[in-house]
Amino acid sequence: MARTSSIKRDTRETRIRLDLALEGGEVRVTTGIPFFDHMLEAFARHGHFGLVLQAQGDLAVDAHHTIEDVGLVLGRALREALGEKRGIRRFGAAYVPMDEALARAVVDLSGRSALAYRVVPPNSVCGGFDSRLFHEFFQALANAAGVTLHLDLLAGAEVHHAFEAIFKAFGRALDQAAAVDPCSTEVPSTKGVLE
């Protein structure tokens, strides 16, 4: 069974087209925010996901709507691609160093939305926008996907390294959690359902 999803979302603030393949594929990201593109590509490549994303937003206002709405759409795509979540591992965790930076991501594909975001960037500006907007991205993603996500920046003096470590760790942790468990075809919950 192919675990894929295609989502389109049009509002007065953003227009987003996203294709997600949990088993891998092409990675091509265009949001109009080059640093955000770089982070999403790092997430997809380290998670071994196929991700084709085109987003157009009201960047003349600021990057907020684009970054948050991409999180919403990616979260919806993830929820759809996982389906009933039968036979997945459910939990994933990863540490990623990036030079002096160190990030940890822990994921539970529980069906319950929760974000614990312990990230204090060494500088708020990165790639020409306020990097604190990444909190909005991860909050929107966790809400739309129904996942529990813990993100911790454990060390980091350079903001680019800090966020690259976070996005790579998130990709690797999500890859573990979404992976097919060869020992089970059941929903990994004593309730028999993850929602």
- The string of pLDDT tens digits covering residues 29-39 is 999 999 999 99
119-159 pLDDT, tens digit each: 999 888 888 889 999 999 999 999 999 999 999 999 999 99
How many of the other CB atoms lie within 10 Å of CB of 120? 10
20 has pLDDT over 70: yes
Domain map (residue ranges) of the chain: 4-178
Class of domain 4-178: alpha beta
Query: Position of tokens 């991205």?
Result: 137
- Which tops the pLDDT comparison, 82 or 87? 82
| Residue 1 pLDDT greater than 80, yes or no | no
Quote the tokens at residue 123: 């500088």
Starting at the edge strand found earlier in the chain, the sheet holding 114-118 runs 91-98, 101-108, 148-155, 114-118
Provide the sign of the torsion angle of the four alpha carbons 98, 172, 9, 143, taken in this order.
negative
